[in-house]
Amino acid sequence: MTLPEHRIGDKGQRYEIRCFGYPEDGQNTIGWANRLPGAINMAEAIVLAPAAKDSWVVDRKEGYKVKWRKSANRTGQREEDG
């Protein structure tokens, strides 16, 4: 999903929350947060959506390094890395 410039809401926040498979096919940016615990909470919530395959948090100040990731395995349970 691509939003017009005036609808992007990151306002310079440090962490970006991404999801694969929700709300649209492929990779989607879900939101932004200033603190890692808040970003992880958002990512944990979004990966519970039925179509979500994976969610992760990247640190935009460290070159988009992945800081946290959670995926669905074949049984539908969530596996956590990092």
DSSP 5: G
Euclidean distance between CA atoms 17 and 35, whole angstroms: 11
Domain count of the chain?
1
As given in the structure block, the two tokens for residue 17 are 């929350």
Domain assignment present for residue 33? The answer is yes
Residue 66, pLDDT > 80, answer: yes
> To which H or E segment does residue 32 belong?
strand 27-33
Q: Quick: pLDDT tens for 6-63.
A: 666 677 899 999 999 999 999 999 999 999 999 999 999 998 888 999 999 999 999 8
- Parent domain of 56: 9-68
Residue 75, pLDDT > 50, answer: no
Domain assignment present for residue 75? The answer is no
Domain assignment present for residue 17? The answer is yes
Domain assignment present for residue 3? The answer is no
Stated pTM of the model: 0.76
Domain assignment present for residue 24? The answer is yes
* Whole-Å CA distances, 31 to 10, 14, 42, 60: 7, 11, 8, 12
Outline where 1-82 has alpha helix (H). Answer: 36-46
Euclidean distance between CA atoms 20 and 7, whole angstroms: 21
Domain assignment present for residue 19? The answer is yes
